[in-house]
Amino acid sequence: MALSVSIKKGNLTFGVKSVVAGQKGSSVSVDPQLVVLSTKGKFTITPAVSRALGLVPGDFITFFDNIDEITRAIAVKTPEIVAAFEENGLSIDDPEAIEAITNAYRTISIAKSIPQKNADGTPKMTNERMAKEDKLAYIDAHRDEIVQSLEDAGIEATEANILAAVKGDEVQAYNGSKCATTSEMTGTGLVLSFTDSNMWNVLKADVDPDEREKMKRTIKVDVKNPIVTEVNDGFETVSVPTYPLVLEEANDETVTARGTGKGNDEPADSAE
């Protein structure tokens, strides 16, 4: 059972770092919100958030978290974190006290992803992810040339090797998750969806695993008070505005399944 205590936070703060991604309703909220959907790994952000972050369909979004910094401070017992425990009358060796302090100081935020670079400053490139059905369609149309290419390279043209040989177009590399919309509209100020299995579980960590796909969690995003975070893009350190989630104001809602089996919790795409 978690310790029930009101933590005095004082001036102690922890820097955040980026988190590696794991990968329609009847109305759209005008409030800046991140919605952790019932579908595993799925998120949406409301128009106010996509506008604040400057996100359009095709852009990437990244989570930032300071949990590692807090854990490290507790492990080495820095003077600042020891003082935080003492000020609240807690023991730094008590697991429940550690959980209480960690939750009090933890900050999770989101930001628009920045392009990654190589060590020499050139753009880092990657192959765009292709859905398996798209790969199979490409193979149907180009099987002979794929087989010939493999044989020329001394590779046996098995079905597995043929499938592995098909890669998406080379594109600029980004950390995080790619945003999409189901509408035909373009520009910012849209409802955007993305996938991040890791953070979906993190943001529902207090919910029984068997219940996570039966509810959605709506979390306010503080778009007025960004945290400027230093991020290394592979070549240099740049300043990125990250927008904190107001975790204590999360609202949970049980989801009613549609006939299709999907949760009835995905908002319609809209621009304000």
Per-domain residue ranges of the chain: 17-66+107-118+176-254
Residue 45 contacts residue 35 (beta carbons within 8 Å): yes
| pLDDT of the residue at 174 | 95
Residue 62 contacts residue 18 (beta carbons within 8 Å): yes
Residue 228: φ, ψ to 5°: -75, 120
| Cα three-residue angle 117-120-124, rounded to 5 degrees | 25
Residue 218 tokens, joined: 């709506």
| pLDDT of the residue at 184 | 80
- For helices 67-76 and 79-87, give the axis angle rounded to 10 degrees: 90
| pLDDT tens digits along 36-52 | 999 999 999 999 999 99
| pLDDT tens digits along 11-30 | 666 665 555 555 444 455 68
Residue 229 contacts residue 237 (beta carbons within 8 Å): no
